[in-house]
Amino acid sequence: MARVHNFCAGPAALPLEVLEQAQQEMLDWQGAGLSVMEMSHRSPEIVKIFEEAEQDLRDLMAIPDDYAVLFLQGGASTQFSAIPLNLLGDKGAADYVNTGQWSKKAIKEAKRYADVNVVASSEDDNFASIPAFDSWNLNADAAYLHYTPNETIGGVEFFWEPETQGVPLVADMSSTILSRPVDVSKFGVIYAGAQKNIGPAGLTLVIVRKDLLGNAADATPTMLDWKTIADNDSMYNTPPTYAVYLAGLVFKWLKKQGGLDAMEQINRRKAEKLYGYIDASDFYANPVEIASRSLMNVPFTLANADLDKAFLKGADEIGLLNLKGHRSVGGMRASIYNAVPEQAIDDLIAYMQKFAAENA
């Protein structure tokens, strides 16, 4: 067996230990005589798997008791609609920050339901920075403020939280969740597709302050009303049982690494190495302002875009996979989530050095 280094933005690398445990338990989960995939979601085994996954996540993120943890389907993209449907109430207006492609998608969907006020945008700067907070045009009467703490495509990350003066803060943490500690109590809602830092595709996580439940618009589909899901312990209908099981294994793996403080140290070291090399080289470049460079997604360009194909081909040949940048921006992107080992960064830098030397 030869495992490659997977730099995919999502679905992304999973910890090898997690995959090995899943493999070992595939046919017979802990003596139950069947696979987790084959179990009724009403069975005591699945209930235990869900409860443990939730508790481990609560431990990792220090989620306060007045927050509900929901395991859903439909991806972060479905939450782009669920957010206004659940939170607008009688307000009608919501604030959004536009820092990249995922912000734009969230804004586009919210406009179907809400009077959307884009409080700040870095689009004129090609999404290479975050607008200074004192320039934001916040509405004190907005139903909520939505932002994207890590723009997966542009590689732009917030290392601070907006101050909202009581307006619930809503964060699409799809590509940054669990990469470092966050103070959950600052947020009204945190949501994330699982396929970056949580587990396999097919699972979506919502962490919502309980007082925000129960205000969904009348026309809200039952499955999109967070209260329905909260009242039924994420089992109103058949939940993505195997994905929650794998996420639970990832949470236990994260605890074993030392939790999110330890992950932050590792992630900072990995990112600093890669940015450090890119900045020192005159062959590669990263366009993002230094204070807002993502720890998880590192876009970079080559001095000559005509070499992109050769770069990717050579990388593939030595097992450095999925380095092609998003189709909307081009160039390269290395996604270096929790499960991407430090060795992958070292191997990537060694390859980049060699390629630059041969093509400069």
Ligand X SMILES: *Cc1c(COP(=O)(O)O)cnc(C)c1O
Residues with catalytic annotation? 102, 172, 196
Q: What is the smallest separation between the CB atom of 171 and ligand X, expressed in angstroms? A: 10
> Cβ closer to ligand X: 76 or 120?
76
**By the rule CB under 6 A, 322 interacts with ligand X:** no
**By the rule CB under 6 A, 175 interacts with ligand X:** yes
**By the rule CB under 6 A, 75 interacts with ligand X:** yes
Q: How many angstroms separate the Cα of 267 from the Cα of each of 35, 263, 297?
A: 34, 6, 11
Q: What is the smallest separation between the CB atom of 172 and ligand X, expressed in angstroms? A: 5
**By the rule CB under 6 A, 21 interacts with ligand X:** no
Measured between alpha carbons, how far is 85 from 91 in angstroms, rounded to an integer? 11
**By the rule CB under 6 A, 174 interacts with ligand X:** yes
Q: Which two tokens stand for residue 40?
A: 């009724």
Q: What is the smallest separation between the CB atom of 264 and ligand X, expressed in angstroms? A: 19
Q: Which of 6, 7, 8, 10 binds ligand X (CB under 6 A)?
A: 10
Closest to 226 measured CA to CA, from 106, 96, 78:
78
> Cβ closer to ligand X: 74 or 319?
74
Strand order in the sheet with 204-209: 67-72, 204-209, 189-193, 169-172, 145-147, 93-98, 115-121
Measured between alpha carbons, how far is 300 from 109 in angstroms, rounded to an integer? 29
**By the rule CB under 6 A, 6 interacts with ligand X:** no
Residue 115: strand pairing partners: 93
Measured between alpha carbons, how far is 161 from 146 in angstroms, rounded to an integer? 11
Q: Which of 152, 241, 292, 322 binds ligand X (CB under 6 A)?
A: 152
> Cβ closer to ligand X: 148 or 241?
148
Q: Around Cβ 306, how many Cβ atoms within 10 Å?
A: 9
Q: Which two tokens stand for residue 200?
A: 């396999």
| Binding region for ligand X (CB under 6 A) out of 30-38, 84-92, 154-162, 172-180 | 172-180
> Cβ closer to ligand X: 174 or 267?
174
Terminal C-alpha separation, the chain: 35
**By the rule CB under 6 A, 240 interacts with ligand X:** no
Q: What is the smallest separation between the CB atom of 43 and ligand X, expressed in angstroms? A: 27
Strands 145-147 and 93-98: parallel
**By the rule CB under 6 A, 162 interacts with ligand X:** no
| Binding region for ligand X (CB under 6 A) out of 37-45, 130-138, 170-178, 226-234 | 170-178
- Tell me which H or E stretch contains 59: helix 44-61
Q: What is the smallest separation between the CB atom of 359 and ligand X, expressed in angstroms? A: 31
> Cβ closer to ligand X: 15 or 193?
193
**By the rule CB under 6 A, 157 interacts with ligand X:** no
Q: Around Cβ 193, how many Cβ atoms within 10 Å?
A: 27
**By the rule CB under 6 A, 164 interacts with ligand X:** no
Q: Which two tokens stand for residue 66?
A: 């007045």
Three-state DSSP class for 147?
A: strand
Instruction: Say if residue 279 carries a ligand binding annotation.
Output: no
Instruction: Say if residue 237 carries a ligand binding annotation.
Output: yes
Measured between alpha carbons, how far is 317 from 319 in angstroms, rounded to an integer? 6
Helices and strands: H and E segment counts in the chain:
9, 14
Question: What residues are designated binding site for pyridoxal 5'-phosphate?
Answer: 76-77, 102, 152, 172, 195, 237-238
The residue ranges that bind ligand X (CB under 6 A) are 10, 75-77, 102, 148, 152, 172, 174-175, 193, 196
